[in-house]
Structure 1
Amino acid sequence: MDEKIINAGEDPRRNLPAVSELLEDATIKQLISKHSRLLVMDALHDALQSFRSILKAGDKPPPTQEIVNTAQSLLTQLEHNRIRPVINATGIILHTGLGRAALPKEAADALALMDRCCNLQIDLETCLRGKRDFMVEYLLRKLTGCEAAMIVNNNAAATFLILSAMCKGKEVIISRGQLIEIGGSYRLPDCIRESGAIMREVGTTNKTHLRDYEEALGENTGAILRCNPSNYRIVGFSQDVPIQELARLKKKRDVLVIDDLGCGALVDLSQYGLPKEPTIQESIAAGADLVCSSGDKLIGGPQAGIILGKKELIQKIKKHPLTRMLRVCKLTDIAMEQTLRLFLEPDTLLQKHPTLRMMTMPLEAIHKTAVRIKRRAAKRNPRLSIAIQKGESATGGGSLPHITFPTWLLAISAQNLSAEQLSLFLRRNEPPIIARIKDDKTVLDMRTILPGEENLIIEALARLSD
């Protein structure tokens, strides 16, 4: 495109090319085929506006190619922030910023088939209206021993729905040591208040006894709520009341006992050498009337809130108006179903379940991964300095906050690049690689590297030599 002839004294902004002219540029046409005409036009408008804001009388307008390059950069930045797969090299297994649990392959494969209609809510025998989440509820009943179950869009919603449906206008007794706050400033007292229930605090921050609950029971008691502090721990001079003891209070007064497990677990982690975490099965067996937990933490599925318990109570909750507002879509339903199916086969669970696999991965296997990547990356890019170091991984996602996992790290530095610059380069890779910085080195934690990601990391490190 020919540049305009500039007349002295003219406002240089008048000589900026029109969007219609820029749309004829060959590069812009390529961008339109990739990003759509609408997005490219937005980028051109933004690019022109950025030049208008800095041009002064007597300035020479930028060449057309500079405007095109600016628009292209804006589009690249826009696309960079779209949701897409990334490589988690942070060592945080359930990284909230990275979508928490990595879905099992079985769940991802099932989602890939959802580019067509499905039998979400139709009875295939009668062709009449069917039950949503039928198989998820069936699997939860089989795995936990509960009478009925349902899922909503997250565990905060599950707690809110239970309280709204069962405790509105009534007191909910809860220990002061369990008045949690989680990410995004979600506070349990706010949830209780907004549900229409009345919070009745008992005990102290560090100690709550069974007698505290007994003394708080009254004519307006709607429920006893136990909330598992899954994102923190109170240690030292402390005491709480197990769900089994709370359930026994029902013998003295007809009162609901609700157990909010938070991160939730369907298997006893202690069998893998990990700290004990309350399981859903234990709460049901102990006599809790309703139990809720997250679906995308220790269960390792999609974001969801799982509600389980007595059949008549679940039926009442399902009929509450909020249930329609908080229900999950077909994608969550099928991903949760496929995740739950893995727990039916304990012998292959660790192999197929990414979250549990990362938590239980032997240190020797992690070290072998570090050695392989270091050897191959150093061969592809001799300018890299790569050291294998011991380190620690974490569960993250508001789960098992009191433990770390021994791991092996790759501490990487590159000539003429700071640790921040190297980390940014990796984040701009396709797929982005999310690392952390430690002691002025870019650090990749091998525990959270998934199968098939080694080659992608090596290729990214090799490109640093370009």
Structure 2
Amino acid sequence: MREDRQDVREVDDPRRRIPRTDHLLALPAVARARAALGEHVVRGVVRAAQDRARSGAIAPEGVADEVLRALGDRPAASLRPVLNATGVLVHTNLGRAPLSEPARQALLEAAGYTDVEFDLDTGSRSRRGAGVRSALLEACPDAEDALVVNNGAAALSLATTALGPGEVIVSRGELIEIGAGFRLPDLITATGPSLREVGTTNRTHLADYAEAITPATACALRIHTSNYRISGFTSTVPIAELAPLCRRTGVPLVADLGSGLLAPEPLLPEEPDVSSALRDGADLVIISGDKLLGGPQAGILLGRAEVVARLARHPLARAVRADKLALAALEATLTGPVPPVLAALRRDPEELRERTARLAERLDARLVPHEGRVGGGGGAEVPLPGWAVALEPALAAPLRRGDPAVVTTVHEGECLLDLRCVPETEDERLAEAVRAARTAR
């Protein structure tokens, strides 16, 4: 009798009704997902659904539906595109500068085999990044040569390392901390150079540099304090004043500008640019590709040919070199139309107001003034006058979680939609996202 009851329990065990793995993998939708996501990913989703059924979280009959739902919602990568309605042009947390359409197309074309280091005419090896180097020199004629690495921090580290060994002279007022708690003094000294700090936090003079230069000096470094301002009783040494001292003493002058302007920008008159720094006498200038230049993440070094060549020969250059995707996107950015980040910067205020007013009317919301920002360590404290749609503050979270994901600014009890960085072609999707967020509350 006891054995009979045991047999009944085994027959009635709902876990026996859980679909087998091979049956689930044979479903047409699952087979298509295996081609897009890979075998191990799909099998992981199947196992997770089966485990939920074994634990009683779902019924065995619901396993197939759960697998299909999970695979249908799962993209190949976890990064989600967002609509940047914050008014911040170079938003580091949102990937900084959005790429232009030509740059996006260049990424796709470079994703397969390319002639990145191959001469199709001769069949021999060629110089890596020759195309982007030519584009940089055409865009910045004041530079004799150019080198591209994987980001701005890598460019600074390569410059201070390759120009050594020795001391890097820098003003105390320029020893800044960048994003995520990284400090430039730590970055510079991590590969061996030592720092020779001169001046004070608020005042540094030419005599401070002159007194610090010794036979052990590797270079003099000027760092643009792009993410803050010091005002009041202050003094700095312009590149044009420091350059003659460096030339007389044979010390390379390096300028880390960060923000990515190749030429002066009228809307940001205090933001330094590469061309001006080189004309003022800098031997090497460093900028980031994914800020105001409007391209992919990259560290760009421009300057005198012998200095750039010295950096290119250093072993660290191989460790920080840019990949083919960054090279392709950067070249397309330089040779293509005005990139989205500069288009957003130069947006006509009246057109922006009219567009924002139309959206506010459609959403039964208010039109309010709103100041955008450059962001990404550029244009510190420079407001970009504009407008925003003022919504209920409770909409911020559902907008972020929606499809499309919309990132807004919550200020003084209102959820603000700033259209400066949102392509006009996305206005309808943005309006639908707001309606969906209101429904979801």
Tell me which interval the TM-score lies in, with the shorter structure as reference length.
Answer: 0.7 to 0.9
Distance 1:9 1:111, change over 3 A: closer
Q: Partner of 1:446 in structure 2?
A: 419
Q: Secondary structure at the match of 1:293?
A: strand
Residue among 140, 146, 157 paired with 2:154: 157
Q: Does 1:200 find its partner at 2:196?
A: yes
Q: Secondary structure at the match of 1:208?
A: coil
How does 1:242-321 map onto structure 2 within 5 Å?
242-269=238-265, 271-272=266-267, 274-321=268-315
Residue among 408, 411, 435 paired with 1:435: 408
Q: Which runs of 5+ in 1 are unaligned?
A: 343-348, 379-384
Structure 1 contact 152–306 (Cα < 8 Å) conserved: yes
Q: How many residues in Structure 1 have an aligned counterpart in Structure 2?
A: 432
Structure 1 contact 93–100 (Cα < 8 Å) conserved: yes
Q: Does 1:187 find its partner at 2:183?
A: yes
Q: Partner of 1:391 in structure 2?
A: 370
Residue among 325, 328, 331 paired with 1:337: 331
Structure 2 contact 107–328 (Cα < 8 Å) conserved: yes
Q: Secondary structure at the match of 1:408?
A: strand
Cα offset, 1:261, TM superposition: 0.9
Distance 1:186 1:77, change over 3 A: farther
Letter in 2 for 1:282: S
Distance 1:247 1:10, change over 3 A: farther
TM-score, length basis structure 1: 0.83
Q: Deviations over 1:356-411 (max 9, x none)?
A: 11112122111121123234x44xxxxxx422211121111111121121221112
Letter in 1 for 2:406: I
Structure 2 contact 15–53 (Cα < 8 Å) conserved: no
Cα offset, 1:453, TM superposition: 1.3
Q: Deviations over 1:117-171 (max 9, x none)?
A: 4332233443322222223222322324111111101111011111121112x01
Residue among 384, 401, 418 paired with 2:380: 401
Cα offset, 1:241, TM superposition: 0.9
Distance 1:242 1:65, change over 3 A: farther
Structure 1 contact 263–294 (Cα < 8 Å) conserved: yes
Q: Which runs of 5+ in 2 are unaligned?
A: 1-5
Structure 1 contact 145–284 (Cα < 8 Å) conserved: yes
TM-score, length basis structure 2: 0.87
Letter in 1 for 2:339: H
Structure 2 contact 202–230 (Cα < 8 Å) conserved: yes
Q: Partner of 1:382 in structure 2?
A: none
Partner Cα separation in structure 1 for residue 237 and residue 369 of structure 2: 38
Distance 1:434 1:12, change over 3 A: farther
Partner Cα separation in structure 1 for residue 113 and residue 77 of structure 2: 30
Q: Partner of 2:145 in structure 1?
A: 148
Cα offset, 1:191, TM superposition: 1.7
Q: Partner of 1:17 in structure 2?
A: 18
Partner Cα separation in structure 2 for residue 435 and residue 76 of structure 1: 28
Partner Cα separation in structure 2 for residue 167 and residue 33 of structure 1: 51
Letter in 2 for 1:223: C
Cα offset, 1:67, TM superposition: 4.3
Q: Partner of 1:345 in structure 2?
A: none
List structure 1 segments (4+ residues) > 6 angstroms apart after TM superposition: 5-13, 24-27
